[in-house]
């Protein structure tokens, strides 16, 4: 196996945890520490693989900061008779999320040490979960994406259902059902897009961008795209053969389509002038309108946004601490990732039309989540609702579509100014990473207390600062990061989002800015009730021992990253910004064309009407 080959390296990143699960399956019972250490070893090694991509001279493949397009793209046949490919790649949008996933998996595994029940099964399921999570962020075949998306469900169901709290069964099946309903809707949308896709609509450059064929850029004789295209057509590749057959067909009535699940190709098709997804299907709405709606529902269940968020408080509260960290830190991000990677680029016209709906959902979630968090007495439930509120920023930032942001360009031509839109999407992405750090940290802080005193009632704490000063200091830092205090990671994302919304809708901007006050309210109030105060008022006060080294090992990295990302945003933006800019710019160019077309259409309609009136 040659690790400098993307297919080997990326596959190893995805499947190493699964391999670990397989290894663990053969461990004898009773060797629980050995099992935990092995599982930890696999998560650490996976994390090192993701970091290895940042190092130029580490061998293996590299991830280049500052490159906008898909990197390390590879494809291989997986199920050719269903047209499904094993297609993966990374860009600035997915790479930070992959690193976050691998990083949080290591921390969550360390946080799993107190688990004593069925340790072997726990570790196996945990590692399978990690494979599913990393796979979702790397898959670029819609079907592969869907399969990884579902792969996570089963381990998560059992992780909540077996190792959870008192209402674990209810919470587990609720989580499962909500997600399954969402993914079934997504499946219908996938079929709609698949059956209306047609690869033959794309030109050679677009096909190369979508990874349909590879262009050998390095080596002895660098190819041009056209050469590679011809070489591909001449090859005995099945897709190439059918591609030519269809292109050779001159009779339009008998012309068939070459369907694809390739997300990148679907994005290209969605942004074509006469997109195959723009035909009307039902109730006067186009295919992409329906597909967008179904996909959006599927993704906002995962985010989760009001009104589909009710699984989250139950699942987060009942799940064991490390699983809550994973849930809040990684799983929620998949919804946001799906929206930015799939919904917007594939269905731009529908997204344009429904931009206000998406933003509205985001703002409602922010407000609702914040008010609900204020009302909680259960510490963990409060943190869970804060996730609903914080993920609202993500949805809002992604939804911003700076309508009518026309600025007069040179020579009187109006150009579409996408700066605020870029800012919104960047803010959303930043918020995803920041929330991954802060929410995982918050859940861990709750878990540390719960492990000691076995209750989570906010009104029965107090005085923790005196009893556990180191822990309380770190906890307060993490909670402030969640609050969005300047200088900590939560601030950047929130500010970007709120600023960008101002140009889109002042009402939404005012409301979303006001939510910051509510957030400060519930977080400060919680800090006051738990950490401040004269003395501890709840049961098991004697158990409040200082933090162990293991717990420090989880908390310190989280605090460090919360500060680093708050003080020095380029550490993250260098990787994300080019890809985000590229996507927003293509979509902005698309919007320009779309608006111009609509305007032209409107003009002709008006002219027609005038002529009719004149007659």
Partner 1 sequence: MNLPTLIDSLISDTVQRSLPLFGPELALCATIVLLLLARVIPVVDQIPPLVIALVGAVVALVAAIPREGMAGLAAIERQELFTGMLVYDALTVYLRLFLTAFAVLFVILSRLTGIADRQDGQDYYALVLGATIGMCIMASANHLLSLFLGVEMASVPSYVLAGIVKGRRRSSEAALKYAVYGAGAAGIMLYGVSLIAGLLGSAHIPTMAQRLVEFDVAAKLADRDYTVMVLALGGLMVGVGLAFKLSAVPFHFWCPDVFEGASAEIGGFLSVASKAAALALLVRVGIGFTEAPQHGAEPPRQPVAAAAASFATPPAIRMVAATNGDERLAQADGQAGRSSDQTIERAGSAAEGSPLSPVRTFFVSVVAAVAIITCTFGNLAAYGQKNIKRLLAYSTIAHAGYMMMPVAAAIALAGDNPAAASDAIAALLLYATIYLFMNLGAFAIVAFLRNAMQSEEIKDYAGLVSRAPMIAVAMTVILFSLVGLPPLAGFWPKLRLLQALYEAGGSLLMFALVVAAINTAISLVYYARVAKTMCIDPQPDTSRPVQLGFLPTTFVFAMALPVAILGVLPELVAPWTRDAAAGLFGV
509-518 long-range contacts, CB within 8 A, separation 24+: 511/363, 511/366, 511/367, 512/362, 512/363, 512/366, 512/392, 512/393, 512/396, 515/363, 515/366, 515/367, 515/370, 515/389, 515/392, 516/484, 518/367, 518/370, 518/371, 518/374, 518/389
- Select 172 or 343, whichever has its Cβ closest to partner 1: 172
Element (H, E) at 88: strand 84-90
- Select 185 or 477, whichever has its Cβ closest to partner 1: 185
- Select 164 or 329, whichever has its Cβ closest to partner 1: 164
Question: 333, 276 in Cβ contact below 8 A?
Answer: no
Record the tokens describing residue 329, joined without a space. Answer: 């830190």
Estimate the crossing angle of helix 419-453 against helix 549-567, to 10 degrees: 160
Question: What's the gap between Cα 31 and its chain centre?
Answer: 36
In angstroms, the CA 344 to CA 578 distance is 17
CB of 66 to partner 1, least distance (A): 36
Is the C-alpha dihedral spanning 490, 171, 149, 372 positive or negative? negative
In angstroms, the CA 51 to CA 65 distance is 13
CB of 28 to partner 1, least distance (A): 13
Place of tokens 């080596």: 219
- Select 157 or 536, whichever has its Cβ closest to partner 1: 157
- Select 259 or 582, whichever has its Cβ closest to partner 1: 259
In angstroms, the CA 293 to CA 289 distance is 6
3-state secondary structure (DSSP) of residue 215:
coil
Question: 481, 487 in Cβ contact below 8 A?
Answer: no
- Select 260 or 579, whichever has its Cβ closest to partner 1: 260
CB of 463 to partner 1, least distance (A): 37
Q: Are strands 414-416 and 406-408 parallel, antiparallel or unpaired?
A: antiparallel
CB of 395 to partner 1, least distance (A): 24
CB of 40 to partner 1, least distance (A): 23
Q: Which residue intervals of 53-112 are DSSP H helices? A: 94-111
CB of 230 to partner 1, least distance (A): 28
CB of 88 to partner 1, least distance (A): 16
CB of 193 to partner 1, least distance (A): 11
- Select 28 or 410, whichever has its Cβ closest to partner 1: 28
- Select 123 or 192, whichever has its Cβ closest to partner 1: 192
CB of 118 to partner 1, least distance (A): 8
- Select 150 or 595, whichever has its Cβ closest to partner 1: 150
Hey, which bits of 241-368 come out as E strands?
Answer: 280-282, 285-286
- Select 78 or 356, whichever has its Cβ closest to partner 1: 78
CB of 85 to partner 1, least distance (A): 12
φ, ψ of residue 305 in degrees (nearest 5): -115, 150
Place of tokens 């000691």: 452
- Select 13 or 171, whichever has its Cβ closest to partner 1: 171
CB of 247 to partner 1, least distance (A): 19
The residues pairing with 79 across neighbouring beta strands, listed in sequence order, are 84
In angstroms, the CA 514 to CA 543 distance is 39
For residues 512, 516, 522, 527, the Cα torsion angle rounded to the nearest 10 degrees is 160
Residues near partner 1, by CB under 8 A: 78-82, 146-147, 150-151, 153-154, 157-158, 161-162, 168-169, 172-173, 176-177, 180-181, 184-185, 187-188, 191-192, 194-195
CB of 121 to partner 1, least distance (A): 8
CB of 173 to partner 1, least distance (A): 6
Record the tokens describing residue 228, joined without a space. Answer: 């590679």
- Select 266 or 372, whichever has its Cβ closest to partner 1: 266
- Select 80 or 541, whichever has its Cβ closest to partner 1: 80
Q: Which residue intervals of 53-167 are DSSP H helices? A: 94-111, 119-138, 142-151, 153-163
- Select 3 or 187, whichever has its Cβ closest to partner 1: 187
Record the tokens describing residue 45, joined without a space. Answer: 């090694």
Is the C-alpha dihedral spanning 367, 370, 372, 375 positive or negative? negative
Residue 267: HSE in the Cβ half-sphere, 13 Å Cα cutoff: 24
The residues pairing with 416 across neighbouring beta strands, listed in sequence order, are 406
Question: 266, 276 in Cβ contact below 8 A?
Answer: no
CB of 291 to partner 1, least distance (A): 12
CB of 184 to partner 1, least distance (A): 5
Q: What is the CA radius of gyration of the chain?
A: 25
The residues pairing with 457 across neighbouring beta strands, listed in sequence order, are 378
- Select 152 or 355, whichever has its Cβ closest to partner 1: 152
């Amino acid at each position: 196996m040659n690790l400098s080959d993307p297919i080997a390296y990326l596959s190893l990143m995805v499947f190493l945890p699964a391999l670990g699960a397989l290894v663990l399956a053969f461990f004898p019972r009773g060797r629980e520490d050995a099992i935990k250490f092995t599982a930890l070893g696999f998560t650490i090694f996976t994390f090192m693989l993701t970091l290895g991509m940042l190092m130029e001279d580490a061998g293996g493949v590299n991830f280049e900061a500052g490159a906008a397009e898909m990197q390390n793209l590879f494809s291989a046949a997986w199920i050719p008779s269903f047209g499904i490919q094993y297609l993966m790649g990374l860009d600035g949008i997915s790479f930070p999320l992959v690193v976050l996933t691998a990083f949080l998996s290591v921390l969550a595994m360390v946080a799993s040490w107190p688990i004593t029940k069925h340790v072997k099964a726990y570790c196996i399921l945990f590692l399978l979960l990690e494979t599913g999570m990393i796979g979702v962020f790397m898959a670029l075949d819609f079907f592969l994406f869907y399969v990884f998306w579902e792969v996570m469900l089963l381990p998560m169901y059992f992780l909540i259902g077996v190792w959870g709290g008192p209402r674990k069964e209810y919470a587990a099946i609720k989580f499962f059902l909500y997600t399954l309903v969402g993914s079934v809707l997504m499946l219908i949308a996938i079929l709609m897009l698949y059956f209306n896709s047609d690869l033959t609509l794309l030109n050679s450059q677009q096909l190369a961008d979508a990874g349909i064929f590879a262009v050998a850029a390095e080596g002895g004789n660098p190819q041009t795209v056209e050469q590679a295209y011809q070489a591909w057509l001449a090859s005995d590749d099945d897709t190439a053969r059918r591609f030519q057959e269809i292109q050779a067909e001159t009779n339009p009535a008998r012309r068939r389509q070459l369907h694809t699940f390739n997300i990148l190709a679907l994005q290209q098709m969605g942004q074509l002038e006469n997109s195959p997804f723009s035909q009307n299907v039902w109730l006067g709405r186009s295919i992409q309108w329906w597909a967008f709606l179904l996909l959006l529902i599927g993704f906002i269940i995962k985010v989760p946004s009001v009104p589909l968020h009710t699984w989250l408080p139950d699942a987060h509260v009942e799940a064991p601490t490390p699983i809550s960290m994973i849930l809040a830190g990684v799983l929620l991000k998949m919804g946001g990732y799906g929206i930015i990677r799939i919904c917007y680029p594939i269905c731009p016209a529908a997204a344009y039309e429904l931009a206000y709906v998406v933003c509205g959902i985001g703002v409602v979630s922010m407000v609702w989540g914040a008010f609900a968090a204020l009302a909680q007495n259960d510490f963990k439930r409060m943190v869970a609702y804060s996730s609903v509120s914080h993920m609202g920023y993500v949805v809002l930032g992604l939804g911003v579509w700076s309508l009518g942001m026309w600025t007069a360009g040179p020579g009187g031509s109006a150009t579409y100014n996408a700066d605020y839109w870029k800012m919104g999407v960047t803010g959303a992405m930043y918020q995803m990473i920041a929330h991954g750090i802060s929410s995982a940290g918050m859940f861990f802080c709750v878990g540390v207390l719960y492990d000691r005193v076995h209750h989570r009632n906010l009104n029965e704490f107090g005085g923790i600062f005196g009893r556990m000063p180191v822990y309380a200091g770190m906890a307060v830092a993490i909670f402030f990061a969640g609050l969005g205090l300047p200088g900590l990671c939560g601030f950047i994302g929130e500010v970007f989002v709120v600023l960008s919304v101002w140009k889109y809708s002042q009402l939404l901007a005012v409301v979303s800015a006001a939510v910051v006050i509510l957030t400060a309210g519930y977080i400060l109030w919680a800090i006051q009730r738990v950490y401040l105060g004269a003395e501890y008022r709840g049961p098991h006060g004697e158990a409040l021992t200082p933090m162990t080294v293991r717990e420090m090992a989880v908390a310190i990295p989280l605090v460090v990253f919360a500060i680093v990302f708050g003080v020095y945003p380029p550490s993250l933006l260098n990787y994300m910004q080019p890809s985000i800019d590229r996507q927003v710019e293509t979509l902005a160019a698309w919007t320009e064309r779309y608006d111009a077309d609509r305007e032209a259409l409107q003009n002709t309609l008006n002219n027609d009407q005038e002529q009719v009136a004149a007659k």
